[in-house]
A and B are shown apart, each in its own frame.
Chain A
Amino acid sequence: MAHTYTDANFESDVLKSDVPVVVDFWAEWCPPCKLMGPIVEEVAGEIDEAKMKIGKLDVDANQTTAMKYNVMSIPTMLVFKNGEVADKIVGSMPKEKLMEKLAPHLA
C-alpha cells in the first residue's frame, strides 16, 4: 500500500529513509491526480519495499513541503535518494510508463 507523507513525517519517513522514496504530490481538486491515485497504489503494491517506498502527499494540507520543493504543478512525483531529489516526474501517465521511469531508481 502507498504511504501517506505529511509535513510532520517528511523528515523521518522520506529524507532519512534508507531506500529511495517516491512522493506523489496531489490534491483533491486535481482531476489528473485522481487518475494517478489508483496507478500509484498499484505500483506501490508491486514494488518491493526494500527497494523503494512509495507514498502520497496532499499539497493542500502540507504546503510547507510542497513549497520547499518548488512543486508548482500537480501531479508531480519526486524521487528522493539519501534526502536529495533524484528525479522529478511531472504529469499523469499510464502505469507502464511510470514503472519505466521509476525502474532506474530502485535500490
Chain B
Amino acid sequence: MTLEDVRKILDAEFIACGELLHRDVKTACGSDLMSDVLAFVKPEGLLLTGLTNPQVVRTAEMADLGAVCFVRGKKPDKQTIKLAEAKNIPMLTTPLSMFESCGRLYRDGVVSCFECGK
C-alpha cells in the first residue's frame, strides 16, 4: 500500500512531506525505544511511535525509515517538523492508539519490519 492508504486506514493527516503520499509501505513497527528501532528495523519501514522529540526524526534518518506516524493525536514541535521536511521524511499523526493503529495496518496486510522475533 501507499502512505496515502495508511493515512486513510488510520484516519491520519500529513504533517510533513505530504507530497510523498505515493511512497510504498510494506512493513511497519510500533516502538518508543529508539535504540530498538535502530537495532532491529529494516530500511523503508513505517515507524509508529508516541514520542515526538527530534531524535525520532534523527532515528528515521539514520535507519532509512520510510515514514513516521505519531499515535494518539500527538504532534511534534515546529522545529522537528522542519527537520523532517529537510530530511525528506514524511510524518503523519493519527488520533488512534498505538494498539489500534498497529492492528488496523496488520489487518490490511502490512507486516512487521522488526528483524527479530516471529
Q: Do A and B come from one complex?
A: no
A residues with CB within 8 A of B: none
B residues with CB within 8 A of A: none
